[in-house]
Amino acid sequence: MFLRIAKTSERRDQDMNMKPHKSVSLLLVGLFALLPALAGAATLDRVRSSNTITLGYIPDLAPFSSDEGGNIVGYAIEVCQRIAEKVQTGLGMSNMDVRFQAVSGEQAVAAITSGTIDLLCTPTPETLERRKSVSYSRPVYTAGLSVVVRKDASPELLRVLNGEVAHTGPTWRATINQGLANHTYATLEGGVTEQWVREQMRDLGVIATLVTVRSHEEGMQLVAAGKAHAFFAERMLLQNDLAKSKDGGQMMVIGRIFDFVPVSMALQRGDEDFRLVVDTVISEMYRSGEMDQLYRKHLGEQGEGSRLLTRVYALP
């Protein structure tokens, strides 16, 4: 499948530079024209009655979302701003207020379900458990799981984390364990990363300690202080954490990416009308090439694998 996609990449690259299809714009206009007759459009009705759209974000997750002296910035923030512009235009509200509301990861789901925020801009992985409470947009980014370690980490640990064997000779599960065992690993509490690390430890039979932290800053501090041998998290976030850390010169993000997962914006469960608006804007941004521009601005150049995946995310 990926070979077939690769063969058409040149043609698709040309498509990405084209302006949005006229039919897409007409579809969006048509959707908004039907809003007064739509039943259950809770979010859009709330925005219209309050003249305000409230965009939630997690403030310490640059380059996706962050608060820089009261200025809310980031890749996901700019995507949300495009969505707000379309909502304002579609509802015919010349002076709609766009309000940003900071939330913690623990508060996010409750803020969405209660209507405190209309959309969580900071992208998160979609899981079956989370879908019991909230719905998700089309993916806006493909997250890659990686790890940060001290530069003076043991050679055996570095070899195994980079996908090599800890020692020369026959390779079997026990050989891998020799590089991983008797270490302390850290990950964010809850979520897919903690689940993934626990599954790997269980499947490999690794005897090690896993500690959970409530923030990236805490995980980086544990590694810097030698209290954890490695901190697992999203690679782009780790690179940003490393650049900001006063101990960044002592640590490094390894080159290996362990797993990929698409991440999306969360919104109220069952509100298909607002979700359709959000997905239409995201798809339009992918097709026009605007999403590529935002990616380069905030995240750098995309790898080929990431570019192939993002072309699947836009709905026709």
Instruction: pLDDT band for 169, please (50, 70, 90 cuts).
Output: very low
Per-chain mean pLDDT for the chain: 83
Q: Which of 12-21, 47-56, 77-86, 294-303 has the lowest mean pLDDT?
A: 12-21
Which domain does 218 fall in, by range? Answer: 143-259
CA distance 137 to 177: 39
For residues 248 and 297, state if they share a domain: no
Q: Which of 190, 193, 186 is nearest to 220 (CA)?
A: 186
pLDDT tens-digit readout, 137-159:
999 999 999 999 999 998 888 88
CA distance 78 to 223: 32
For residues 185 and 107, state if they share a domain: no
For residues 9 and 135, state if they share a domain: yes
For residues 191 and 203, state if they share a domain: yes
For residues 45 and 98, state if they share a domain: yes
With pLDDT > 70 as the criterion, what percentage of the chain qualifies?
Answer: 81
Q: Which of 292, 258, 254 is nearest to 144 (CA)?
A: 258
For residues 167 and 126, state if they share a domain: no
What is the tally of structural domains in the chain?
2
Q: Which of 263, 306, 259 is nearest to 145 (CA)?
A: 259
For residues 15 and 136, state if they share a domain: yes
For residues 292 and 223, state if they share a domain: no
Supply the pTM of this predicted model: 0.76
CATH number of the CATH domain containing 241: 3.40.190.10
For residues 8 and 125, state if they share a domain: yes
Instruction: pLDDT band for 165, please (50, 70, 90 cuts).
Output: low
